[in-house]
């Protein structure tokens, strides 16, 4: 009985110190433009890293202040992130959502809020943001139909 208690206690403690990450990818055409809704509540470095990654992936984007139908954005991305202090400042939560024509199409979530004593919570934010976006945004080439008269992209 005592061994069972020790094993259950160990399982409980390790699950209480877990860091979770989940990515539901989106498939964006190379010629698509993504509108990123600026979040003033998040450190500027988060958006700067997003922009840097999109430039490297050769994905066109623009920053918008508010979601508005007049923006005419087929693809929209929102983000949020929180930092916490525990011996050092670290990113404890990040969420990036991608919408296609107003509907949620994919998201990436990093959650270390239950990290507790797990030392893996002390990460550099930029590589984690890169990892999340790389897994989230899958690029695909526009398919091309050939006809004797013209070439049209779908």
Q: State the average pLDDT for the chain.
A: 78
**Nearest to 95, CA basis, from 133, 139, 51, 56:** 133
pLDDT greater at residue 150 or residue 21: 21
What are the boundaries of each domain within the chain?
A: 18-142
Is 90 exceeded by the pLDDT of residue 25? yes
What would the mean pLDDT of 111-118 be, rounded to a whole number? 68
In this structure, which CATH number among 3.30.460, 1.10.10, 3.30.160, 3.10.350 belongs to the domain 18-142? Answer: 3.30.160
d(CA 131, CA 109): 11
Read off the pTM.
0.74
**Nearest to 91, CA basis, from 109, 108, 112, 77:** 112
pLDDT in tens, 56-77: 989 999 999 877 655 688 999 9
Q: What are phi and psi of 112, to 5 degrees?
A: -110, 20
Alpha helix segments (H runs only) across 34-79: 44-56
């Amino acid at each position: 009985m005592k061994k069972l208690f020790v094993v259950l206690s160990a399982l409980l403690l390790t699950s209480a110190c877990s860091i979770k990450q989940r990515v539901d990818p989106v498939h964006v055409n190379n010629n698509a433009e993504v509108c990123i809704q600026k979040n003033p509540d998040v450190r500027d470095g988060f958006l700067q890293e997003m922009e840097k990654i999109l430039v490297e992936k050769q994905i066109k984007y623009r920053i918008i202040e508010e979601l508005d139908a007049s923006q005419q954005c087929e693809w929209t991305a929102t983000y949020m992130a929180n930092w916490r202090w525990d011996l050092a400042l670290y990113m404890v939560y990040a969420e990036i959502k991608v919408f296609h024509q107003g509907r949620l199409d994919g998201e990436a979530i990093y959650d270390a809020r239950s990290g507790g004593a797990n030392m893996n919570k002390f990460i550099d934010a930029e590589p984690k943001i890169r990892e999340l976006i790389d897994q989230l945004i899958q690029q695909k080439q526009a398919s091309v139909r050939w006809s004797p008269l013209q070439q049209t992209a779908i």
